[in-house]
């Protein structure tokens, strides 16, 4: 089915509505500085933010900065992050990432996309989380919620996160990217779920070209 082309004006009104619906939308990963957000975001792959937030207090106390993490014993770190899943790979990436921060950036987290994605364990999604939430640099995060919802809303048609990100960055003004991702993620968790799109209660039902998609509640 060919969907109608969504204009920027139409998308912005829809985004206004979603932002008004979810004023509490924010980065759900607990952190106090860019380093902590980087660690939490790496751990959040294939894991819930709630689970990550249970793990990070002890982790940040044990390894308060990249220098401490770079010197971590892999087995000890693996035990601390085990409940987040894929723990061996995550521990390996955390140690390698911390060592790179120490070696190249004096233990600071860089604030440029190219430098961030060159770090072990950091892809564009993680880099955009850091840019938008730690440095107030616009970052368009595309996770599974964002990708699914923007395709339903007709804001993007691509299937890969990188291409969806590029389409969204063309559609929305940069100053709205970071919060757009937060509200779309909230909407994806609370209403426009993968299997159960709750269209009858959706705040943008009258603006969605795929209203009724999936199984209605």
- Residues with a catalytic annotation lie at 125, 143
- Closer residue to ligand SF4, CB minimum distance, 42 or 197: 197
Question: How many residues does the structure list for the chain?
Answer: 217
Residue position matching structure tokens 């190249």: 104
Instruction: Tell me the per-residue interface mask from 105 to 134 with ligand SF4, x by CB under 6 A, - otherwise.
Output: ------------------------------
- Closer residue to ligand SF4, CB minimum distance, 102 or 208: 208
Here the tokens at position 98 are 């911390």
By CB under 6 A, the count of residues binding ligand SF4 is 15
Is-contact 207 17, C-beta < 8 A? yes
Would you count residue 11 as binding ligand SF4 (CB under 6 A)? no
Beta strands in 18-149 (DSSP E): none
**Spatial distance between the Cα atoms of 108 and 113, rounded to a whole number of angstroms:** 14
Residue 217: Cβ within 10 Å count? 11
**Spatial distance between the Cα atoms of 24 and 19, rounded to a whole number of angstroms:** 9
- Closer residue to ligand SF4, CB minimum distance, 6 or 140: 6
Is-contact 192 149, C-beta < 8 A? yes
Would you count residue 18 as binding ligand SF4 (CB under 6 A)? no
| Span interacting with ligand SF4, options 71-79, 147-155, 164-172, 178-186, rule CB under 6 A | 147-155
Q: Choose, by CB under 6 A, the member of 119, 127, 153, 171 that binds ligand SF4.
A: 153
Residue 5: Cβ within 10 Å count? 9
Residue 17: Cβ within 10 Å count? 16
- Closer residue to ligand SF4, CB minimum distance, 130 or 153: 153
Would you count residue 152 as binding ligand SF4 (CB under 6 A)? yes
Q: Which of 37, 3, 28 shows the shortest CA–CA distance to 189?
A: 28
Q: Which of 87, 20, 21, 18 shows the shortest CA–CA distance to 59?
A: 87
Would you count residue 213 as binding ligand SF4 (CB under 6 A)? yes
Would you count residue 171 as binding ligand SF4 (CB under 6 A)? no
Shortest CB 139 distance to ligand SF4, Å? 23
Instruction: Tell me the per-residue interface mask from 177 to 206 with ligand SF4, x by CB under 6 A, - otherwise.
Output: --------------xx----xxx--x-xx-
Here the tokens at position 186 are 């909230």
Interacting residue ranges for ligand SF4, rule: CB under 6 A: 149, 152-153, 191-192, 197-199, 202, 204-205, 208, 210-211, 213
């Amino acid at each position: 089915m060919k969907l109608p082309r969504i204009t920027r004006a139409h998308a912005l009104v829809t985004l206004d509505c979603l932002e008004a619906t979810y004023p509490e939308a924010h980065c759900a990963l607990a952190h106090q500085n860019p380093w902590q957000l980087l660690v939490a975001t790496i751990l959040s792959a294939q894991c819930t933010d709630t689970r990550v937030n249970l793990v990070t207090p002890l982790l940040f106390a044990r390894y308060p900065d990249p220098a401490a993490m770079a010197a971590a014993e892999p087995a000890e770190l693996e035990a601390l992050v085990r409940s987040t899943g894929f723990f061996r790979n995550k521990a390996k990436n955390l140690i390698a990432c911390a060592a790179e921060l120490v070696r190249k950036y004096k233990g600071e987290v860089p604030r440029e996309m190219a430098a961030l994605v060159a770090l072990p364990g950091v892809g564009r999604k993680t880099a955009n989380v850091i840019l938008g939430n730690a440095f107030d640099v616009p970052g368009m995060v595309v996770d599974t919620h964002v990708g699914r919802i923007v395709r339903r809303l007709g804001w993007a048609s691509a299937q890969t996160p990188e291409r969806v990100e590029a389409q969204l960055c063309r559609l929305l003004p940069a100053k709205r990217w970071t919060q757009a991702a937060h509200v779309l993620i909230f909407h994806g968790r609370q209403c426009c779920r993968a299997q159960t799109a709750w269209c009858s209660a959706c705040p943008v039902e009258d603006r969605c070209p795929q209203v009724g998609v999936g199984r209605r509640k």
